[in-house]
Amino acid sequence: MRRRRDKNKKSFISRLWVFLAVILLVSVSLSYMASLYWFFDLFSHFVVQYVLIAALLTLLLLFSKRKIWALITLVICASQAYKVVPYFDFNEDFTEYYDEVKVLQYNVNRNNVNVDEMTRWIVSKTEDVDIVVLLEVNERWQEAIRRIKWAYPYHISKDMRGGRNMAVFSRLYVDEIEIKYLKDESPVIVLRGETTGYEVPFVLYGTHPPPPILPSYAQTNQDVLESIGEHVVKEQIDHRLIVGDFNSTRFSPNFRKMAESSNMKEGDIGLGIGAYKPSWPSFLPNLMGITIDNILVSDNIVVQKRERGPAMGSDHYPVITTLKFVVPKENNG
């Protein structure tokens, strides 16, 4: 009787691993159809999770003697691990002439009441951080914005639909700050300025498209990402950045299309797998999170480091990115 119970238990556990493998297979299959339908795109963001789950299931299925399913999960693991390879294409520090710029980006969450704590943390970084991009600031932030302005002479804020308000601050010299409206009337903040040392011109786009959780939101998100790519590539300035909460990850075809059309690269590429520190959601363990707060840079900007700060009540973590702006030859003579 005991042997029968043990056998039934092993059979149940074996079927459980197969059931989980089926769910994984369906999820990954839907992710490959992300460009066909907005809902499928939601499955495209969890590549790191797919790799880890597939690797674990492969071992468990082998142990349970489910060799066919173990092979299937192994193939899934390999196909998803391939997408993570760019993390290991380490950035080359190829120049001695550069200006270092630090960018802080933070979706503070419009429902977050810990404004004083967040403001103190941001102000504590002003000696090191050159540009600050804040998202979802609201009326609670009016006094905080005044305090932050004290350290940053150049600044602009913009109210957006759905509480996705933006504020950008810079202590680097700024030639122009403007609100640019994309084809669907979604605004982005555009800042054109110069670095401090070698006076390298640069342009920064700040954005916060809506989360693709409904068909209309998903379409707007796609339109914003596509339109930003089209606008940035037309800029006459060589050093370019796109910063924001994209509500999308580098694994989404919409995000990749923006990166390709703008001829830019993601900020976490080349920093190693150790740089994978998800920015959202802050209330879940790291291995369950994804990076939707990102930065894209042109090829003449080297990403040195990306650091994550404390969430302080937001569902997002703040991220500080250290950049090297490569100096053109005519500037370093």
Q: Are residues 55 and 148 in the same domain?
A: no
Q: Are residues 177 and 44 in the same domain?
A: no
Sequence-ordered alpha helix ranges (H) in 132-214: 142-149
Q: How many domains does the chain have?
A: 2
Judged against a pLDDT cut of 60, whether residue 333 lies above it is answered with no
The residue among 55, 87, 119 that closes a domain is: 87
The residue among 59, 87, 115 that closes a domain is: 87
pLDDT, mean of residues 2-24: 81
Judged against a pLDDT cut of 70, whether residue 23 lies above it is answered with yes
Q: At how many degrees (to 10) do helices 47-63 and 67-84 cross?
A: 160
Q: Are residues 196 and 150 in the same domain?
A: yes
Which pLDDT score, from 0 to 100, does residue 87 have?
A: 72
Q: Are residues 68 and 97 in the same domain?
A: no
The residue among 39, 55, 87 that closes a domain is: 87
Q: Are residues 185 and 207 in the same domain?
A: yes
pLDDT, mean of residues 23-44: 97
pLDDT, mean of residues 295-319: 94
pLDDT, mean of residues 259-263: 93
Q: Are residues 107 and 154 in the same domain?
A: yes
Q: Which of 10-14, 201-205, 230-234, 307-311 has the lowest mean pLDDT?
A: 10-14
Whole-angstrom CA distances from 257 to 4, 167, 195, 248 are 56, 26, 29, 12
Residue type, 166: M
Which pLDDT score, from 0 to 100, does residue 163 have?
A: 63
**54-87 per-position pLDDT tens digit:** 999 999 999 999 999 999 999 999 999 999 887 7
Q: Are residues 125 and 224 in the same domain?
A: yes
Whole-angstrom CA distances from 310 to 89, 90, 154, 164, 249 are 28, 26, 26, 21, 21
Q: Are residues 266 and 216 in the same domain?
A: yes
pLDDT band at 185 (very low <50, low <70, confident <90, very high): confident
Q: What is the DSSP letter of 197?
A: S
Q: Are residues 189 and 240 in the same domain?
A: yes
pLDDT band at 94 (very low <50, low <70, confident <90, very high): low
CATH number at residue 224: 3.60.10.10
**209-248 per-position pLDDT tens digit:** 999 999 999 999 999 999 999 999 999 999 999 999 999 9
Judged against a pLDDT cut of 60, whether residue 6 lies above it is answered with no
- Calculate the average pLDDT of the chain: 90
Q: Are residues 189 and 300 in the same domain?
A: yes
Q: Are residues 81 and 99 in the same domain?
A: no
Sheet strand arrangement including 166-170: 154-158, 166-170, 131-135, 98-107, 319-326, 301-308
Which pLDDT score, from 0 to 100, does residue 5 have?
A: 58
- Percent of the chain predicted with pLDDT > 70: 91
Is the pTM of the predicted complex or chain greater than 0.85? yes
pLDDT band at 1 (very low <50, low <70, confident <90, very high): low
Question: What is the phi/psi pair of residue 110, to 5°?
Answer: -60, -20
Domain range holding 38?
2-87
The DSSP line for 265-328 is EETTTTS-GGG----B-TTS-GGG-B--EEEEE-TTEEEEEEEE---TTSSS--EEEEEEEEPP
The dihedral through the CA atoms of 230, 241, 167, 192 has a sign that is negative
Question: What is the phi/psi pair of residue 280, to 5°?
Answer: -155, 145
Which pLDDT score, from 0 to 100, does residue 326 have?
A: 92
Question: What is the phi/psi pair of residue 251, to 5°?
Answer: -90, -10
Judged against a pLDDT cut of 70, whether residue 91 lies above it is answered with no
Say if strands 201-207 and 239-245 run parallel, antiparallel, or are unpaired.
parallel
* 295: nearest Cα among 305, 281, 310: 305
CA distance 129 to 171: 9
Which pLDDT score, from 0 to 100, does residue 187 have?
A: 86
**112-163 per-position pLDDT tens digit:** 999 999 999 999 998 899 999 999 998 888 888 889 998 999 998 877 766 6
**265-298 per-position pLDDT tens digit:** 988 777 776 667 899 999 999 889 999 999 999 9
Judged against a pLDDT cut of 90, whether residue 31 lies above it is answered with yes
> CB pairs under 8 A, 24+ apart, for 115-119?
115/140, 115/141, 115/144, 116/144, 117/312, 117/313, 118/144, 118/312, 118/313, 118/314, 119/144, 119/147, 119/148
Q: Are residues 136 and 236 in the same domain?
A: yes
How is residue 250 written in tokens? Answer: 């580098």
Is-cis flag, bond preceding 187, omega within 30?
no
